Amino acid sequence: MGSAEDASLDELARRVSAARAATEARGETFYQGASRVHLAAFPPRERWDDWVELSSRAWPAREERHYMLVPTTCFNCESACGLLAYVDRDTGQVRKFEGNPEHPGSRGRNCAKGPATLNQVTDPDRILYPMKRSGPRGGGGWERVSWDEALSALAARIRAALAEGRHNEIMVHIGRPGEDGYTERVLASWGVDGHNSHTNVCSSGGRTGFQFWMGIDRPSPDHAHATVIYLISAHLESGHYFNPHAQRITEARANGAKVIVLDTRLSNTATHADYWLSPQPGSEAAINLAIANHLIQTGAYDREFVRRWWNWAEYLTECHPGTPVTFEAFEEILAGLYADFTFEFAAAEAGLDADVLAEVAAVVAGAGHRFACHAWRSAAAGNLGGWQVSRTLFLIAALLGAVATEGGTFPNAWNKFVPRPIHVPPHPGVWQELSWPLEYPLAQNEMSFLLPHFLADGRGRLDTYFIRVYNPVWTNPDGLSWMEALCDEDKVGCFVALTPTWSESAWFADYVLPMGHGPERHDTHSYEQYDGQWVGFRQPVLRTARSRLGTPVSDTREVNPGEVWEENEFWIELSWRIDPDGSLGIRQYHESRERPGEKLTVDEYYGWMFSRSVPGLAERAAAEGLSPLDWMRRYGAFEISRGRGAVHEQEVPAAELSDVSVSPLGRVYSAAPPAADPNIVPAGTPPHDEDGRRPAGVIVDGVVRHGFPTPSGRLEFWSSTLAAWGWPEHALPGYIRSHVHPSRLAAGQVVLLSTFRLPTQIHTRSANAKWLDELAHTNPVWIHPADAARFGVGRTGDLVRVETEIGHFVAKAWITEGIRPGVVACSHHMGRWRLDGGPRGAGGMMATVGLSRGDDGWQMERRGSAGPYESADPDSQRIWWTDTGVHQNLTFGVHPDPISGMHCWHQAVRIRPAAPGDQHGDIAVDTRKARQVYREWLALARPAGQVSPDGTRRPHWLMRPLKPSAAAFALPVADRDLP
């Protein structure tokens, strides 16, 4: 760096200091900008009640606009970044959304989707009133109904189902939760095991690998302090918590950290990597094991950490009887376990250069405890056995001892905080086999994407089925099987879509009930984004603004557009109508504590939570003369702690140890309850001892320490759970060859990567944002030039047919060297559609299609594309693009991993030039073939009835979002007659 530049940086630093001093001298908060060249980036919070900006439209006249800045939380991905709504004090409308500098996770920064929240709020196509189907399901007939009518009808159905013992006919299917536990609490209050999720089409594979190590299913990398960052995803642009993580990765890079990226595509993340590896899809675990083997063979692992924290003694005892249970004996065995995973072997599997792998391994070895790693969807979600991608990744961290260290990787539960709510209903006493079938006792989450097949098998029916933030026909594989199921009233009696906008699924609903976008609803959430804990608060910003101006609001519908509501108030009202006199025991969980016999309000719900369940918040609020609720309404997020550190090393206080029992390998059980632990994140609940004592810690070198929530209390290199539940061959971190391994591809087949995101779109939720649509509206098929030549694809833009096992889709080719030969890729964000005659839906993002069924199955044809249209928003006349991409997921059969339950997204496909008459976006699917694919994958499962070691359906200690009572875990006798 030259001296002139040094001088200018010094000058900038001086100016920043001066600006800070001047701001603080005024008694105001100084929020420094994101880079060294910015002075202040955000309005001081002391002026949030009346922030003045000049109107850009009035320029050159100096016309002042006065804003109230109200925090809320973005709902356009799982990162839950803080937003500030700029509420115009004159019009009472939100004029823009910017970042909230008070938010500890996002620190004022957002991706493009955050500010685009405004597009969703002002979307001219959004649903404003409750709608009820008239005519046949999916026929397009709708009538507006009152909330009162809709609530009464739904309450009557649910009440009847509960009264008749049909608890398992009630289901709420959730896409992006966006909150921590509210919906599960509602379902528990109804006594139903009706929570379903999207997780098995998203992150179950990644979670499973971490869960079997730690008893906790997510990693929390401390990127900012790492020296080596190892990512198996496009994490900087679109991974899990990508904006909060990306800014910390960027900081680490500025401090010299090396970034290693495994991504078959040349993603934006790969372009920023120091080492970009483009492996053959499915070979990632082999690469991880080669690096692990290097650490083992060269002795570059943290012996002391492995000795203290791995369950090697249990492994030796169970798998090597007769071998002395000493660490030295274990090391000897360990040296042989992965000896075959040479760089040459991994290079052959991955199609990479062994020398490059050796170089990467040396970089990893040099990281020591500052090794931050992450795998979430990507390879873990793409492949049969993909869960071993994260299990082998964590093997590297566990060898390095980079677990809960500065710059290392933490268990997420230590960097997350879920406050206790005002009422906690008991666990439901029933088991929902449509979500948790006996074939998948170890599934990380609900087997959601198999629901149409289970209904077709006659395994059950649904009386009332809700979806929220979820579009199953579009999001899942095999969407036309979903459509068939949802159109069958014998299978789904009443289908309710809780949604702000029309979608492919809502079109088949019986009720479409308008719910608010991010700034129109309440939620709390907390996500692991660094070594600390915070709680965020999503709130309806106009409700807060109006209350602050002296007009209290008691029902969020008063401030939302039309009759748009929020789910919290909706669930309270529905629960009251299900149990109007309290005789079902439901109403008590939705009643006020302050005013017994009256309905709980959201103010009381969150006021109670923030006053009693968030450590430090009451004191912080009191210091500013505010109630905890008002403090959260003013600032939007609260940081509870920083630097949680190595929680597993903490000694268990003597007060928590009484009437103790100790297992032969040092697991400590206690009859004493745990001390009030502020961390009540749901995690695995390890088994109790035979006398019912709870697991309280583990003895390490003679001291009882907190340990990990696994059965052994240690990190489980060897999983007793996998071994006992029918999968002993996969109890160690290992390599499972994918269903798209080259040896399994037929001649002419290539692998289709279908799991990647575009940075400016997230599934279906962001599609009504016009700014985002303009930025990204197409999903061509990436094809390497060599493959293009092989398949006769002449140029970028030419149409190709992509043939899957159940059908095909027609898309445009993008010929690029950014993908390896033998692999093609297509983003899953695009291809939104509406049936000809259906509602406009997502405006510029939706194509109009015709759908017909013949002897060969379903055919979808394009009848209209995006283009200008009239609406209340003049910008809808300015849509210049016509391409809206292709909906590829419809053409994928279901691929449930037999262990994790994850849908294995990668596809073995053939690429051909489009046939005469093919049009962009055409789709053909034979759902009879889809049934066959389902049966083939189902046959890979090992049902609980055959493998359960203890007569239960599932290891009780494994996590479940909504856990039934212990009694409900018992295997029914009839399970031995599985279909």
Helix (H) or strand (E) holding 348: helix 343-350
Smallest distance from the beta carbon of 374 to ligand SF4, in angstroms?
A: 15
Closer Cβ to ligand SF4, 196 or 471, answer by number: 471
Smallest distance from the beta carbon of 758 to ligand SF4, in angstroms?
A: 12
Smallest distance from the beta carbon of 139 to ligand SF4, in angstroms?
A: 35
Under 8 Å CB-to-CB from 852, ≥6 apart: which residues? Answer: 858, 859, 861
Separate counts of helices (H) and strands (E) for the chain: 29, 34
Smallest distance from the beta carbon of 381 to ligand SF4, in angstroms?
A: 19
Closer Cβ to ligand SF4, 111 or 652, answer by number: 111
Smallest distance from the beta carbon of 114 to ligand SF4, in angstroms?
A: 3
Q: Is there a contact between 754 and 748 (Cβ–Cβ < 8 Å)?
A: no
Closer Cβ to ligand SF4, 242 or 387, answer by number: 242
Smallest distance from the beta carbon of 373 to ligand SF4, in angstroms?
A: 20
Per DSSP, the three-state class of 915 is coil
The Cα–Cα gap between 523 and 72 comes to 9
Whose CA is closest to 937, among 281, 449, 211? 449
Smallest distance from the beta carbon of 534 to ligand SF4, in angstroms?
A: 14
Closer Cβ to ligand SF4, 145 or 541, answer by number: 541
Smallest distance from the beta carbon of 73 to ligand SF4, in angstroms?
A: 7
DSSP string, 389-413: HHHHHHHHHHHHT-BSSTTSEEEGG
C-alpha dist (Å) from residue 850 to 827, 836, 847, 864: 23, 6, 10, 9
Closer Cβ to ligand SF4, 78 or 603, answer by number: 78
Q: Is there a contact between 971 and 944 (Cβ–Cβ < 8 Å)?
A: yes
Smallest distance from the beta carbon of 70 to ligand SF4, in angstroms?
A: 17
The Cα–Cα gap between 508 and 512 comes to 9
Smallest distance from the beta carbon of 39 to ligand SF4, in angstroms?
A: 23
C-alpha dist (Å) from residue 349 to 258, 712, 956: 25, 34, 37
Closer Cβ to ligand SF4, 76 or 189, answer by number: 76
Per DSSP, the three-state class of 24 is helix
The Cα–Cα gap between 368 and 257 comes to 13
Smallest distance from the beta carbon of 115 to ligand SF4, in angstroms?
A: 8
Closer Cβ to ligand SF4, 115 or 839, answer by number: 115
Closer Cβ to ligand SF4, 769 or 819, answer by number: 769
Smallest distance from the beta carbon of 496 to ligand SF4, in angstroms?
A: 26
Whose CA is closest to 672, among 656, 661, 683? 656
Whose CA is closest to 799, among 810, 815, 807? 810
Closer Cβ to ligand SF4, 114 or 822, answer by number: 114
Per DSSP, the three-state class of 563 is coil
Q: Is there a contact between 753 and 784 (Cβ–Cβ < 8 Å)?
A: no
Q: Is there a contact between 575 and 638 (Cβ–Cβ < 8 Å)?
A: no
Helix (H) or strand (E) holding 382: helix 378-382
Closer Cβ to ligand SF4, 236 or 306, answer by number: 236
Closer Cβ to ligand SF4, 80 or 559, answer by number: 80
Q: Determine the longest span between alpha carbons in the chain, in angstroms.
A: 88
Smallest distance from the beta carbon of 127 to ligand SF4, in angstroms?
A: 22
Smallest distance from the beta carbon of 240 to ligand SF4, in angstroms?
A: 10
HSE of 226 in the Cβ direction (CA atoms, 13 Å)?
Answer: 34
Structure tokens at 170: 């009630």
Closer Cβ to ligand SF4, 73 or 738, answer by number: 73
Under 8 Å CB-to-CB from 14, ≥6 apart: which residues? Answer: none
Smallest distance from the beta carbon of 412 to ligand SF4, in angstroms?
A: 17
DSSP string, 280-299: PTT-HHHHHHHHHHHHHHTT
Q: Which residues bind ligand SF4 (CB under 6 A)?
A: 74, 76-77, 79-81, 106, 110-111, 113-114, 242-243
The Cα–Cα gap between 158 and 450 comes to 24
C-alpha dist (Å) from residue 729 to 227, 311, 319, 726, 733: 35, 17, 11, 9, 10
Whose CA is closest to 649, among 691, 608, 693, 698? 698
Smallest distance from the beta carbon of 829 to ligand SF4, in angstroms?
A: 13
DSSP string, 574-600: HHHHHSTTSTTS-GGGGB-SSSTTSB-
The Cα–Cα gap between 423 and 709 comes to 25
Closer Cβ to ligand SF4, 243 or 779, answer by number: 243
Closer Cβ to ligand SF4, 73 or 712, answer by number: 73
Smallest distance from the beta carbon of 762 to ligand SF4, in angstroms?
A: 6
The Cα–Cα gap between 429 and 492 comes to 23
Closer Cβ to ligand SF4, 114 or 733, answer by number: 114
Closer Cβ to ligand SF4, 240 or 648, answer by number: 240
Integer Rg of the chain from CA? 28
Using H for helix, E for strand and C for coil, what is the string for 622-638? HHCCCCHHHHHHHHCEE
φ, ψ at 403 (rounded to 5°)? -115, 120
The Cα–Cα gap between 139 and 950 comes to 49
Please name every residue paired with 372 in a beta bridge, in sequence order, or none if there are none. Answer: 229
Smallest distance from the beta carbon of 80 to ligand SF4, in angstroms?
A: 6
Residue 459, class by beta-carbon neighbours within 10 Å (0-12 exposed, 13-18 middle, 19+ buried)?
middle
Q: Is there a contact between 603 and 632 (Cβ–Cβ < 8 Å)?
A: no
Closer Cβ to ligand SF4, 557 or 765, answer by number: 765
Closer Cβ to ligand SF4, 176 or 491, answer by number: 176
Per DSSP, the three-state class of 530 is coil
